[in-house]
Amino acid sequence: AQRVTQPEKLLSVFKGAPVELKCNYSYSGSPELFWYVQYSRQRLQLLLRHISRESIKGFTADLNKGETSFHLKKPFAQEEDSAMYYCALLYAGNMLTFGGGTRLMVKP
Amino acid sequence: DTEVTQTPKHLVMGMTNKKSLKCEQHMGHRAMYWYKQKAKKPPELMFVYSYEKLSINESVPSRFSPECPNSSLLNLHLHALQPEDSALYLCASSADEGTGNQPQHFGDGTRLSIL
């Protein structure tokens, strides 16, 4: 069965510090992974997808099939990065399963 | 228009009421979804429509009845709900899966409270 695990419910860092939000997945097929972000009182937004290998708002994420991970990283956190982050696995064309989410708090 | 629009934003209803949630997108997406999100939890998939046909029902109770009148609209009809059905209901859409796995775009949600 497919599963996404985000081990940290809460991650608190100071402004300017590096950030890594962990995501591990379990899936027998070829994974399609995403990071979604939900800022306070805003809708769930797509942040990154692994297939595009791009950097959005300074965030990057690399798919590591050997470790079945898709960790989200940013070298220097900003206060406006404070939000809820969900890692998600897309399978069977249009089935999306989410990890439990990590709340990132960036302190001034 | 690159948004998924949901109405109403908030809904309070009694357990005997009948109400409907509405979702609209004009991005030409052919797959639409309903999710349920409880507080401090991730969204959970309820239904998937592909080309206006119900393709997936994740064992959702029959008091939730989805409807897809056309490619831009998705409704969720509610009847005889229970207090535990109180949650944020999210609608999402994505492009044709035949062009590769496509990301889903979410609406703001309808916050539903059952009295």
State how far the Cα of B8 lies from the Cα of B18, in Å rounded to an integer.
Answer: 14
A23 burial via Cβ count (<10 Å: 0-12, 13-18, 19+): buried
Say if residues A6 and A22 touch (Cβ distance below 8 Å).
yes
- The pLDDT, as a whole number, for residue B20 is 97
d(Cα B88, Cα B17) in Å, to the nearest integer? 18
Amino acid at B52: E
Q: Is the Cβ pair A94, B109 closer than 8 Å?
A: no
d(CA A25, CA A61): 14
Q: A with B: how many residue pairs have Cβ under 8 Å apart?
A: 52
Amino acid occupying residue A39: Y
Distance from CA of A45 to the nearest CA of B (A): 7
* pLDDT in the model for residue A87: 98
Our separate counts of H helices and E strands in chain B read: 0, 11
CB contact under 8 A, B45 and A43: no
pLDDT means over runs of 10, chain B (115 residues): 89 92 94 94 94 92 96 96 96 78 90 94
Which segment of A6-10, A101-105, B12-16 scores lowest on mean pLDDT? B12-16
Q: Which residue do the tokens 């009694």 mark?
A: B14
For residue A54, the model assigns a pLDDT of 78
Token pair, residue A18, equals: 């590096």
Taking an 8 Å cut-off on Cβ atoms, the answer to whether A43 and B109 are in contact is: yes
The pLDDT tens digits for A41-97 are 889 999 998 877 778 899 999 899 999 999 999 999 999 999 999 999 998 878 899
Residue B33: list chain A partners with CB under 8 A. 94, 96
Q: Confirm if B29 and B94 have CB atoms less than 8 A apart.
A: yes
Separation CA B88–CA B21 (nearest Å): 11
What pLDDT shows up at residue B16? 87
Token pair 């439990």 is found at: A100
Question: What's the confidence (pLDDT) of residue B65?
Answer: 97
A94, B108: Cβ pair inside 8 Å? no
